[in-house]
Amino acid sequence: MSSLSDIARTLVSDKRGILAADESVGTMGKRLEGVGVESTEENRRLYRELLLTTPDLAASISGAILSDETIRQVLSDGTTFPDALDRIGVLAGIKVDTGAKALAGAPGETVTEGLDGLRDRLEEYVGLGATFTKWRAVYSIGDGLPSERAMHANAHALARYAGLCQEAGLVPIVEPEVVMNGEHSLEQCREVTRTVLRSVFAELGLMGVELEGIVLKPNMVVAGDESGQRPSPSEVARATVDTLRETVPPAVPGIAFLSGGQDPEEATSNLAAMKELAPLPWELTYSFGRALVGPALETWRGSQDQWDAAQKALSERAVANASVR
């Protein structure tokens, strides 16, 4: 079995990135209904089959994050999703959190849940073919937010999750997302992201998490979507990389960004601008959800006739992201 650091390096190296296809049933339902497709178990399965059988996917995708539903489903030919990914040279990952829930004593804020019974669930996921995992904590910027309480609760949960995954031989993707919604400036996003990342790495240290065996999945430092600001890719890149240099130890092998609702081309341009700031202590790559699959979903709209065109749309985004220097 590969070591944790080998798996983590495979996920972030050779310019490949991670496809986040782990929407919960609720989120996937909203996305499918948005393009006029009924959210049935079969339609969710079919859509994931479309994505993950895209020709040449492995040239630009190192790993795919699945949901609990998908990891138990099979392709039309009867192959399980993890087996199908293994055959093409893509690692199978699994989202193991059970969602962001209201945090007591912190109005408007959440803590991500899923620690209860996690050790047993991880053992099962290993048996189902997973080699890595994901857990997402969510932080909003607002009047007095995020609170110290929410930051502490989420960092603690992320670190306990990461420790359990490494114990099970799985590489944890640690995803603290400062969301883009709001009127905040780029500078405010930078301050909050720095504070959040500091708290996460402090907790990872306390829990004895091996930094060589994780992948960090942070937000890019951007202005709020209602701020009226539109920073250029070089401004986003400089603010993001400066923040990461201040907070992420060089032992971490790689950073795979989420897209957070950015336009797909914008996310690619921002990633490209960051890579221009090399040399950096860690690999930089993508772990996009919407910025990879959005155009494919819009193209497919549930039509069998659009199957090839939708796969091409995914391929174009994946290749564009893998082609940035």
**Binding of ligand 5MM at residue 259 (CB under 6 A)?**
yes
Query: Looking at 20, 37, 85, 237, which residue binds ligand 5MM (CB under 6 A)?
Result: 20
- Which of 41, 12, 17, 13 is CA-nearest to residue 29? 41
**Binding of ligand 5MM at residue 22 (CB under 6 A)?**
yes
**Binding of ligand 5MM at residue 9 (CB under 6 A)?**
no
Torsion 168-214-102-39 (CA) sign: negative
Site string for ligand 5MM, 143-182 (x = CB under 6 A): ----------------------------------x-----
**Binding of ligand 5MM at residue 121 (CB under 6 A)?**
no
**Binding of ligand 5MM at residue 24 (CB under 6 A)?**
yes
* 36: CB partners within 8 A, 6+ apart: 301, 302
Residues that contact ligand 5MM, how many (by CB under 6 A): 15
Which residues partner with 91 through β-bridges? 63
**Binding of ligand 5MM at residue 96 (CB under 6 A)?**
no
Query: Looking at 136, 160, 190, 238, which residue binds ligand 5MM (CB under 6 A)?
Result: 136
Interface residues for ligand 5MM in 183-242 (CB under 6 A)? none
Q: Answer yes or no: 134 catalytic.
A: no
Phi, psi (degrees; rounded to nearest 5) at 102: -55, 135
Cβ closer to ligand 5MM: 6 or 35?
35
> Is residue 309 a contact partner of residue 281, using CB atoms and an 8 Å limit?
no
> Is residue 119 a contact partner of residue 156, using CB atoms and an 8 Å limit?
no
Cβ closer to ligand 5MM: 143 or 231?
231
User: Strand locations in the chain, DSSP E?
Assistant: 17-20, 61-66, 91-95, 99-102, 110-113, 132-139, 171-178, 215-216, 254-257, 283-286
Burial of 43 (0-12, 13-18, 19+ CB in 10 A): middle
Q: So which residues are the catalytic ones?
A: 175, 217
Interface residues with ligand 5MM (CB under 6 A)?
20, 22-24, 27, 95, 136, 177, 258-260, 288-291
